[in-house]
Structure 1
Amino acid sequence: MNKSIKFITFIASAVCFASTVYADDDVSKYTLKTNYQLVFNKTPKSVDNFSDMFKNGMFYGRLRSNTFYFKWDKENSSQDSHTISGLGGSLLYKSANFSGFDFHTGLYFSKAFFDQNSSPVNRLKAGKDVFSRYDYTNTGNKSMAVLGEAYVSYKGFAKTDIKLGRQLVETFYTKSNDTKMIPNTFDAIVLESKAISDTNIKLAYLAKQKLRDHTQSHSVLMYADANAFSSLNPSWNGNDDSAMHKGLTYTALKAAGKDTDSPLIVFDFQNKSIDNLKVDAAFYTVPELLSEAMLELNYKVKLAGFSISPGVRYIKQFDDDAGKIGGAAYDGTTDGYKDPFSLDSQMIAARIVGTYDIYKLNIGYSKVFDEADLITPWRGFPTSGYTRSMARYNWMANTKSYRMELTMNSNKKGIYKDMFIQASILHTDADENKGKYDENYYYLGFVQNLEDMQDLQWRLRLGYADTKKTDADSLDARFEINYLF
């Protein structure tokens, strides 16, 4: 029996077990928000002895399917319209807490379905993450079965949690971004504390990353090449995120005397000490390569029946030899950049958010200075909440973006009996001197839990790009079903 069949059998057994144990629950054990983050409504309690940690633990299961259809308005030798699907799920286990300690594990599985003859693997777009392209081209395997989470947590200090191991790390610069089949995870130690009144602090040391379409961990900021791995398509076995700096190759880092496995150190800070004012700050550094800092202010003005919240964000990027090694652009090019070998850069963004009843309107603007691209390839997006739309990377140098977004029926519980609807229009004013092009992007998304089966949730996401680049107009359609048990 191969690994895929064993894993499917294991998941099916867990479904039967969980359905029996929790059949009478009125409230779902855990739910899924529109941003793909899980809400654990029921968790194990504290126990008085070590063995009860295991006996009183809880399982959380998930079955999911995800189908991607990408249609180019005009196909050519490098652009194929295609469909690809993924089928899989996850099984999480949380132990009970004993003397401040508990542990969490997460097994994930994904099986891809596509026709290599009509949809070559190197031309797949969003759906590429439902399997490992590296494994497929080297072994022919279209499945992934991975230990996505495995960490120990200690909660012995007041309002403080320390986690050690492979985990989801949700900060401004790092996200699980679980939009495909397996989340983005890190091998890390993370400290989060709310010991200070009205303040949340998170400090993380991330030694390794495992992107969504990988089965092995890899460096946080190294683009693999033939000198890193001798197998086919070596770049797909390192950090090959769409926003990865492709000039920071294994060979280039080695030649510069830099560590190809440098860690990512992240700091997050949120404070609400002043009424109606939310202060966010974040910082990351990859030692001897690159650092970045962010400050954001949002102030809510409450009026009769509705509220208005103006916000502003500023980002400063500090180069520490990464620009000299890889160049000012994250795609590895230097054409059109004022200083082609510096990654010093800045971004400003502003927005105004209005809420009324079940509706929220967000009008945002962002501008990246004409210096260098912003480098954040850990699924945290610098323009998120301002001018970020599905699959759009608009933090290249000398880029201005404008977005209007309307949402309806948002909530924090993750159960959308009333359909959640999100619609936005994004205009990106790019720098043609750098080989970029202006674009209008139209997005429409739906999320709903079935009324008679609230643990079953469907999602439909549609994005259409209307560009000034020849033959670049396209439709990106994604349909997903999640069953949580």
Structure 2
Amino acid sequence: MKPIARVLAAVAAAWLPVGVQAQTPATAPDAPSDAPPDSTEQGQTPLDAAFVPRDRAAWIRETRREAWKDTTFDVQARTFYLDRDKYDDSQSSAWALGGSAGFKTGYFRERLALAATGYTSQRLYGPDDKDGTLLLKPGQKGYTVLGEVYGEFLLNQDTRLKLGRFGIDTPYVNRNDARMTPNTFQALAVQGVYGGDDGTPQWKFGAGYFDKIKERNSDTFVSMAKDAGAPAWVDRGVYTLGANYTQGKLSAGAIYYHSNDIISIFYTEGKYALPVGDTARLNLALQYSDQDSAGDNLLKGDEFSAHQWGAKAELAYKGALFTTGYTRASGGTNMQNPWSGYPGYTSVQVEDFNRNGEGAWLLRASYAFQSVKGLSLYALYVDGSDPDAPNEYAKDEYNLNAQWAVADGPLKGLMMRLRYAHVTQKGPQSSNLDDLRLLVYYDPPGL
């Protein structure tokens, strides 16, 4: 905790003389049913969705709460079934029931809010010889954990500071909320948003120190370095600094992560939207990741370097979205993603397609039904090439996804999602993987 204390002192000295106001609500696991089409995979965080909400007006409204009167409660029930037949013909299978319950106060004296969230995942089904779904702890054991408990300080109208244990979303440090419970972190973070009113340019920024992580199927917090794969005795955190600029249909930004003696990661992403007639839109995006060993090279024992670039084009027409993308990894070693869902455009349900020397093409089509509000479908195909390692082979992946989010009526707040993936691994003897998932979330309205 000493590094956090030092950072807190420095930030407080720089910001406390300024006025106060600002907060962001928690990120929902899925977009609302009336959101525009999007191809972001569950568990990923694109850079323009990092740091703070897109809606600056909502951000400001959140700062004007009265502490006890405006305390909010969040309860979600989840059940999740996952069955995976792996390349070696072994199987992982489990069915879990759980969810989360938490609260967040308004701001005492318009300066400090307090929050806490508890999570649980309990086994309904899970043979001991079919472990590995990440729905439960190793050994198919249920767990309960206080995953969030933090204070949030308003530094000025547009900037807030969080200290404690909480979830956050950036490309390489995020909740990765694609199982029963999300990643959360022991950290200090400053986040802010400036501009964005009446079409003016908007800047979003974030900076922080992440000391420990609670993985999504764990009830304990461990060193960020240990979670990345360093020896158990290594205790290192992660420093982050990033920003994103938005002006009209253009979005661009970058973020940097550094863990002493472990790894340095630089990520940048740009997006641009072009209208096509009156009812269609073309979205273009580019991304680049660069990863290097740091300091005493405690992660792998020696120096390493890796990078990946990607491009994506999307055509949105009414409720349909057609996507094509390409990524290429190189540099001498596989890309790393120890603290998040991987941000690559070809990272899908099972595979990330980020091995050294691996290139991958993505084709995706989705449709949100106009006649049945909240019902959507998508299918995708990723064609991967052979990586550089002589004992690894090309993979192809197919995904099918059906989702229904009930927006009105007595079942409002219910979301059901069925996901299926089939992966073919080529080689001297080809092998297959099948992954079936059924998710049901329920967020009671009115809390």
TM class by smaller structure: 0.7 to 0.9
Of stretches 178-187 and 446-455 in structure 1, the one that deviates more from structure 2 is: 446-455
- Name the counterpart of 2:85: 71
1:369 equivalent among 314, 327, 330: 330
Per the alignment, in what secondary structure is the counterpart of residue 413 of structure 2?
strand
| Residues 250-270 of structure 1 deviation map (CA, whole Å, 9 limit, x = unaligned) | 3xxx6xxxxx11111122311
Whether 1:445 and 2:401 are equivalent positions in the alignment is: yes
Whether 1:221 and 2:195 are equivalent positions in the alignment is: no
Whether 1:207 and 2:206 are equivalent positions in the alignment is: no
Q: CA deviation at 1:373?
A: 2.0
- Name the counterpart of 1:461: 419
- Name the counterpart of 2:440: 481
Distance 1:310 1:152, change over 3 A: same
- Name the counterpart of 1:227: none
Q: How does 1:398-409 map to 2 (within 5 A)?
A: 398-409=357-368
Of stretches 448-457 and 159-168 in structure 1, the one that deviates more from structure 2 is: 448-457
| Residues 357-413 of structure 1 deviation map (CA, whole Å, 9 limit, x = unaligned) | 111122111111242222221114141xx21111212222111111111222299xx
Per the alignment, in what secondary structure is the counterpart of residue 207 of structure 1?
strand
- Name the counterpart of 2:152: 153
Q: CA deviation at 1:424?
A: 0.7
Distance 1:410 1:178, change over 3 A: farther
Instruction: State the distance in 1 between where 2:29 and 2:186 align.
Output: 24
Q: How does 1:428-443 map to 2 (within 5 A)?
A: 428-431=384-387, 433-443=389-399
Q: CA deviation at 1:318?
A: 2.7
- Name the counterpart of 2:137: 132
Distance 1:46 1:309, change over 3 A: closer
Instruction: State the distance in 2 between where 1:105 and 1:318 align.
Output: 35
Instruction: State the distance in 2 between where 1:206 and 1:72 align.
Output: 34
Whether 1:389 and 2:348 are equivalent positions in the alignment is: yes
- Name the counterpart of 1:89: 99
Q: How does 1:70-469 map to 2 (within 5 A)?
A: 70-72=84-86, 75=89, 79=90, 81-98=91-108, 99-116=110-127, 119-121=129-131, 124=132, 127=133, 129-133=134-138, 136=139, 142-195=141-194, 197-222=201-226, 239=227, 244-245=228-229, 248-250=230-232, 260-273=234-247, 275-304=248-277, 305-321=279-295, 326=300, 341-383=302-344, 386-409=345-368, 417-431=373-387, 433-450=389-406, 452=409, 453-469=411-427
- Segments of 5+ residues of structure 2 without an aligned counterpart are 1-25, 32-41, 196-200
| Residues 193-229 of structure 1 deviation map (CA, whole Å, 9 limit, x = unaligned) | 113551100112101000011111001122xxxxxxx
Instruction: State the distance in 2 between where 1:466 and 1:480 align.
Output: 24
Per the alignment, in what secondary structure is the counterpart of residue 374 of structure 1?
coil
One-letter amino acid of the structure 2 residue matched with residue 66 of structure 1: F
Q: RMSD in angstroms over aligned alpha carbons?
A: 2.9
Distance 1:456 1:320, change over 3 A: same
User: TM-score, normalized by length of structure 2?
Assistant: 0.79
Instruction: State the distance in 2 between where 1:357 and 1:143 align.
Output: 43
Per the alignment, in what secondary structure is the counterpart of residue 169 of structure 1?
coil
Instruction: State the distance in 2 between where 1:476 and 1:281 align.
Output: 33
Matched-pair identity in %: 18
Whether 1:33 and 2:39 are equivalent positions in the alignment is: no
Q: CA deviation at 1:180?
A: 1.2
Question: Do the aligned partners of 1:177 and 1:183 also contact (CA within 8 Å) in 2?
Answer: yes
Distance 1:367 1:459, change over 3 A: same
Distance 1:351 1:82, change over 3 A: closer
Question: Do the aligned partners of 2:381 and 2:396 also contact (CA within 8 Å) in 1?
Answer: yes
Per the alignment, in what secondary structure is the counterpart of residue 130 of structure 1?
coil
Per the alignment, in what secondary structure is the counterpart of residue 389 of structure 2?
helix
- Name the counterpart of 1:14: none
| Residues 16-60 of structure 1 deviation map (CA, whole Å, 9 limit, x = unaligned) | xxxxxxxxxxxxx99641547999999988466xxxx34541221
- Name the counterpart of 1:337: none
Q: CA deviation at 1:65?
A: 0.5
One-letter amino acid of the structure 2 residue matched with residue 359 of structure 1: A
Instruction: State the distance in 1 between where 2:346 and 2:420 align.
Output: 17
User: TM-score, normalized by length of structure 1?
Assistant: 0.73
Q: CA deviation at 1:73?
A: 7.7
Instruction: State the distance in 1 between where 2:388 and 2:101 align.
Output: 47
Question: Do the aligned partners of 1:31 and 1:484 also contact (CA within 8 Å) in 2?
Answer: no
Distance 1:211 1:370, change over 3 A: same
Instruction: State the distance in 1 between where 2:266 and 2:27 align.
Output: 34
Per the alignment, in what secondary structure is the counterpart of residue 221 of structure 1?
helix
Q: CA deviation at 1:108?
A: 0.8
Question: Do the aligned partners of 1:382 and 1:395 also contact (CA within 8 Å) in 2?
Answer: no
Q: CA deviation at 1:164?
A: 0.8
Per the alignment, in what secondary structure is the counterpart of residue 300 of structure 1?
strand
Instruction: State the distance in 1 between where 2:283 and 2:334 align.
Output: 29
Per the alignment, in what secondary structure is the counterpart of residue 94 of structure 2?
strand
- Name the counterpart of 1:228: none
Richer in helix (by share): 1
- Which aligned runs of 4 or more in structure 1 are off by greater than 6 angstroms? 36-45
Question: Do the aligned partners of 1:102 and 1:153 also contact (CA within 8 Å) in 2?
Answer: yes
Question: Do the aligned partners of 2:231 and 2:298 also contact (CA within 8 Å) in 1?
Answer: no
Q: CA deviation at 1:277?
A: 1.7
Q: How does 1:13-24 map to 2 (within 5 A)?
A: none
Aligned length: 387
Question: Do the aligned partners of 1:70 and 1:474 also contact (CA within 8 Å) in 2?
Answer: yes
Instruction: State the distance in 2 between where 1:151 and 1:108 align.
Output: 15
Q: Name which one, 1 or 2, has greater alpha-carbon Rg.
A: 1
Distance 1:47 1:389, change over 3 A: closer
